Amino acid sequence: MPRLALLLTTVIWGATFPATKAALEQITPLSFLLLRFLIGTLLISLWFMVGRRRLHHDRAVLEASAITTVFLFFGYLLQTVGLEHTTASNSAFLTALYVIFVPLILLRIDRRVVVATVIAIIGLWLLVKPDASMNLGDLMTLGCAGAFAGHIVCLERFTRQVDAPSLLVWQMVAMSVLFLPAPWWEGTTQHAFLPTPVLLIGLGVTGVLATLAFAVQMWAQQLVPAQQVALLFASEPAYAAWLSWYFLGETLDVQGWIGSALILLAVVIGAFGS
């Protein structure tokens, strides 16, 4: 059940790509992230108030939140800034390399994980067709993959040691605070914040649905090993490609369909196999 829940939430993560891409035609990237995390913070806070849940703020929770937020912040920052200097295909491929980094960090390497990882990397390459050359944006995105891998590893540990819902709240609050200077830094105009349908849909997917997906991830990582979580999340580019093809009219050739099928095969072998 937790693995299936994670796989379903990955559909939402995949949907954030076309939703964000459309919204970024109106608003600057980091300002969009600010709105996204502000909405997420309000949503989670409302859940706590309605459910009359206790928000833990002991030292263990705050320290765990600080550590996980560092990885989460640099993951989003490096990915967003790196995307300005590289192609979307390179960004998608390099970000998904956390499928390699997570088992390496944890030193959990068995035959099934190796086979699934190799299949996933081949599938990713066929799907996104990255350039062979490396530039500054690619290096930033590679750093983003390392940061997201660190975040996945931290969640496996901390969601089993402290109150997971409180950990989620403090991460969302911290991300909102860290992105507060974004409009000033990017010189974002007031026009960019107009509540147009495109911006509202983008924030609905990323601020509401993705926050719910994040909450599911926090719950599931108490039960699912981090290396399997990484493999499940490797299907995100496949979902993003399918949704972009369906909603935005982006092309997806035979090679892309084969690549996405290989990614899902890797998920079945590595995360659902016995």
Going from N- to C-terminal start, the domains of the chain cover 2-107+133-178+195-224
Tokens of 3: 């693995």
Q: How far is Cα 149 from Cα 19, in angstroms, rounded to an integer? A: 24
The H or E element that residue 152 is part of is helix 136-158
Compute the radius of gyration of the chain from its Cα atoms. Answer: 18
pLDDT tens digits along 159-191: 999 999 999 999 999 999 999 999 998 888 888
pLDDT tens digits along 47-92: 998 888 889 999 999 999 999 999 999 998 888 778 777 766 667 7
The H or E element that residue 251 is part of is none
Average pLDDT over residues 195-207: 93
Residue 270: is its pLDDT beyond 80? no
Q: How far is Cα 136 from Cα 80, in angstroms, rounded to an integer? A: 13
For residue 207, CA distances in Å to 134, 165, 210 come to: 32, 17, 6
Q: How far is Cα 43 from Cα 62, in angstroms, rounded to an integer? A: 20
CA angle 205, 6, 31 (to 5 degrees): 30
Tokens of 218: 């926090």
Determine the 3-state secondary structure of 10 from DSSP. helix
Sign for the CA dihedral angle at 138, 142, 143, 144 comes to positive
pLDDT tens digits along 6-19: 878 888 877 777 78
Regarding pTM above 0.85, the answer is: no
Q: What are phi and psi of 205, to 5 degrees?
A: -70, -45
pLDDT tens digits along 18-34: 788 788 889 998 999 99
**Whether the Cβ atoms of residue 260 and residue 234 lie closer than 8 Å to each other:** no
